[in-house]
Amino acid sequence: MDIPCIVVKCPYDKNVGYLSLSSPHSFILEKSLWFNVEHYLIYKIFEHTPLCDEIRYAKNFATVKLITIPKFIIENTIPKMVFGSKNIELLLKPCNKYFIELALTAKFDQNPSIKNKLIDTDGIKIIIEKYENTGSLIEKIRNKYICE
């Protein structure tokens, strides 16, 4: 028997985009407002660097992306790359699942309409195309809500 599944490809998909890490659903965590889950995760990656506050207090997510585009500096005539990666998915790969789950939970807790939509997906497998294994974290959060 095939298990029904949702495949999330675009954060702006009106039916399932809300499940994406980059969906435009803001939330407050660690006393800061985050534009989306990716914003928070990028901050955690750069947390103890000179870019930390610039990322945390960026005016919008486009600015966060610009801040983390690789820049090159010349050090002793040798080009050296500094700051993150233009490819956000690669940048987030090392991100701890704990922080992903923490941010997703805050997103759903603070946005009741999408929390209810998530609960309505009971019994459906969730696949987030850009981020391997994130669907299973969302399913775990959904199952916690169902058991409440």
Tens of pLDDT, residues 8-18: 999 899 999 99
Bridge partners (DSSP) of residue 8 are 128
Closest by CA to 84, choosing from 99, 101, 65, is 65
Give the residue-averaged pLDDT of 132-142.
92
Residue 118 makes CB contacts below 8 A (sequence gap 6+) with 18, 19, 108, 138, 141, 142, 145
CB 8 within 8 A of CB 129: yes
127 vs 77, residue with greater confidence: 127
pLDDT tens-digit readout, 45-72: 888 888 899 999 999 999 998 888 765 5
